């Protein structure tokens, strides 16, 4: 199964991944609503990465009490089953799941064709 991977040494922290992710999923550039984002900061003079993207670990699938999340080639949320309880949010080790309008929102790797990988100018994000 293919997953998103980040080569931190190549990432310049431009945020283009989050901008295009939000544009693709929300219909507007709104990085705070992106399903993928990579934050950078300086700590003691060194660039530090805080990467938040889905690695398809499946913890959300196992933890969903309603069975609303499935993982085949990519994650899917069944809006008819999801009750917005937030258990998946609590369990996600990469902090990428959000509850909006009582529905779990997460990276689905653009159904196997992630926009973030296509737009990364440094090729720091890969889908392999």
pLDDT in tens, 39-55: 888 889 888 888 888 88
pTM for the model stands at: 0.84
Q: Distance between CA 93 and CA 88 in Å, rounded?
A: 10
- Give yes or no for a contact between 65 and 85, defined as CB atoms under 8 angstroms apart: yes
92, 56 Cβ separation under 8 angstroms: no
Angstrom distance (rounded) from CA 94 to CA 106: 11
The residue with tokens 């990432």 is 11
Domains and CATH numbers, the chain: 1-53+111-128 (3.30.70.20), 56-106 (3.30.70.20)
Residues paired with residue 100 on neighbouring β-strands, in sequence order:
103
pLDDT in the model for residue 49: 85
């Amino acid at each position: 199964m293919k997953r998103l991977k980040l080569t931190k040494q190549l990432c310049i922290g431009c945020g283009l991944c989050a901008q295009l992710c939000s544009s693709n999923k929300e219909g507007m550039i709104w990085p705070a609503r992106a399903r993928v984002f990579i934050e950078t900061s300086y700590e003691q003079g060194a660039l530090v990465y805080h990467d938040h993207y889905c690695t398809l670990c499946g913890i959300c699938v196992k933890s969903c009490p309603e069975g609303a999340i499935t993982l085949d080639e990519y994650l899917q949320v069944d809006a008819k089953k999801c009750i917005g309880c937030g258990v998946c949010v609590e369990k996600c080790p990469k902090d990428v799941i959000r509850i909006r309008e009582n529905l779990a929102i997460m990276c689905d790797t653009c159904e196997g064709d992630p926009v973030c990988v296509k737009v990364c100018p440094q090729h720091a994000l890969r889908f392999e």
